């Protein structure tokens, strides 16, 4: 090759390399801009706290035509989690796709073995309530369920309570759950009588000075009173009350955590969640849906109460 030809070839090569370098630089800037746009959108749409770092990973092929899989890492200190998004191949659309294993959803496999049942044990619809016996909102929900909700649905619904005492807020809730389970070991009816009493006499347990030791003594006293009325084995109950074994309660609270429960009451009506003490009518809507899914027509709503009559000649 002549000197002139070699010089021309090297010049062409250098120009090609320069063009590629410029193109890569432009592409890199475009990628950075797109990643920033993605980060801003993810932070806004999912309310990501400011002290979390958001990093965008490399695209991967997905099973959805026209979209790539895009891993996004959320990190704070040593902890991190990866959330998979979908991004269109033209980089203009970001999507979030989740798949759910219907066969393994934990709301359909809550452990109720050995728990006291209220209502028809063979009912097709089950209401499971994660309850805190010191919680005022739980007391409100309890009063919604009993007696009016149970009376409305009769043998079509059964009710089961699980323990979820919020001990950081309620100092005697754990002790109350243990005592309730001591009664349940001998009689479901006495268990429910005790739960009814606590949810309607919370101030009696609190006492004027809110002394936990006095509250524990009151809980034990009420448990023994209910046991006497139910003709339970007093010696067996006393041994259980004295032992205060929290294992069963803590296992139930751990299950509540695994279900994502962050407060009480938390109901599951054949798997459908109700969080908080909702009005009776809203609870009934959920139960009605479950009954229809089970092939049962819900009972008609009770008639609305008539407005009070004005005495003759009374002003408006």
Could you please report the per-residue DSSP string of 171-234? TTHHHHHHHHHHHHTT-HHHHHHHHHHHHH-HHHHH-SS--HHHHHHHHHHHHHHHHHHTT--H
> What pLDDT sits at residue 22?
46
Per-residue pLDDT, averaged over 25-50, amounts to 86
> What pLDDT sits at residue 307?
76
Task: Evaluate if residue 18 carries a pLDDT over 90.
Answer: no
Assigned CATH for 107-293? 3.40.30.10
> What pLDDT sits at residue 100?
79
Q: Is the peptide bond before 255 cis (omega within 30 degrees of 0)?
A: no
The DSSP call for residue 265 is -
Percent helix / strand / coil, the chain, rounded to 5: 50, 15, 35
243/175 Cα distance (integer angstroms): 11
> What pLDDT sits at residue 25?
72
Closest of 278, 132, 262 to residue 205, by C-alpha: 132
Q: What are the backbone dihedrals phi and psi of residue 268, each rounded to the nearest 5 degrees, phi first?
A: -130, 115
Task: Evaluate if residue 245 carries a pLDDT over 50.
Answer: yes
51/40 Cα distance (integer angstroms): 14
Assigned CATH for 31-97? 3.10.450
How much is the CA Rg of the chain, to the nearest whole Å? Answer: 31
Residues with Cβ < 8 Å from 288, sequence gap 6 or more? Answer: 298
Task: Evaluate if residue 20 carries a pLDDT over 50.
Answer: no
Closest of 150, 136, 152, 144 to residue 278, by C-alpha: 144
Query: What are the domain boundaries of the chain?
Result: 31-97, 107-293
> What pLDDT sits at residue 313?
56
Residues with Cβ < 8 Å from 245, sequence gap 6 or more? Answer: 178
Closest of 81, 53, 57, 51 to residue 69, by C-alpha: 57
Lowest mean pLDDT segment, chosen from 25-29, 46-50, 238-242: 25-29
> What pLDDT sits at residue 13?
36
CB 145 within 8 Å of CB 207: no
Sign of the dihedral defined by the CA atoms of residues 216, 217, 218, 219, in that order = positive
> What pLDDT sits at residue 312?
59
> What pLDDT sits at residue 14?
38
**pLDDT (tens digit, 9 = 90+) per residue, 145-165?**
999 999 999 999 999 999 999
> What pLDDT sits at residue 199?
98
**pLDDT (tens digit, 9 = 90+) per residue, 253-278?**
999 999 999 999 999 999 999 999 99
Closest of 286, 11, 259, 26 to residue 157, by C-alpha: 286
120/210 Cα distance (integer angstroms): 38
Per-residue pLDDT, averaged over 68-93, amounts to 93
Task: Evaluate if residue 172 carries a pLDDT over 90.
Answer: yes
262/267 Cα distance (integer angstroms): 12
CB 186 within 8 Å of CB 241: no
């Amino acid at each position: 090759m002549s000197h002139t030809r070699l010089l021309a070839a090297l010049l062409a090569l250098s120009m090609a390399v320069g063009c590629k370098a410029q193109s890569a630089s432009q592409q890199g800037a475009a990628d950075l801009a797109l990643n920033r746009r993605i980060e801003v959108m993810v932070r806004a749409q999912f309310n990501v706290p400011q002290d979390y770092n958001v990093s965008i990973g490399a695209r991967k092929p997905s099973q959805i035509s026209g979209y790539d899989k895009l891993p996004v890492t959320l990190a704070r200190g040593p902890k991190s989690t990866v959330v998979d998004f979908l991004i269109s191949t033209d980089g203009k659309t970001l999507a979030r796709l989740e798949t759910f294993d219907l066969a393994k959803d934990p709301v359909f496999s809550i452990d109720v073995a050995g728990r006291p049942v209220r209502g028809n044990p063979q009912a097709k619809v089950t209401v499971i309530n994660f309850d805190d016996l010191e919680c005022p909102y739980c007391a409100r929900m309890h009063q919604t369920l009993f007696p009016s909700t149970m009376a409305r649905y009769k043998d079509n619904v059964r009710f089961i309570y699980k323990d979820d005492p919020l001990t950081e807020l309620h100092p005697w809730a754990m002790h109350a759950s243990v005592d309730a389970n001591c009664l349940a070991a001998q009689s479901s009816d006495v268990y429910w009588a005790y739960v009814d009493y606590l949810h309607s006499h919370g101030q009696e347990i609190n006492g004027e000075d809110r002394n936990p030791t006095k509250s524990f003594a009151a809980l034990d006293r009420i448990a023994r009173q209910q046991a006497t009325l139910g003709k339970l084995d007093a010696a067996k109950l006393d041994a259980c009350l004295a032992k205060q074994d929290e294992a069963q309660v803590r296992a139930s609270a751990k299950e509540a955590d695994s279900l994502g429960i962050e407060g009480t009451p938390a109901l599951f009506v054949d798997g459908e969640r109700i969080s908080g003490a909702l009005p009776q009518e809203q609870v009934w809507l959920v139960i009605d849906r479950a009954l229809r899914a089970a092939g049962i027509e819900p009972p008609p709503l009770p008639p609305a109460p008539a407005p009070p009559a004005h005495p003759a000649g009374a002003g408006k």
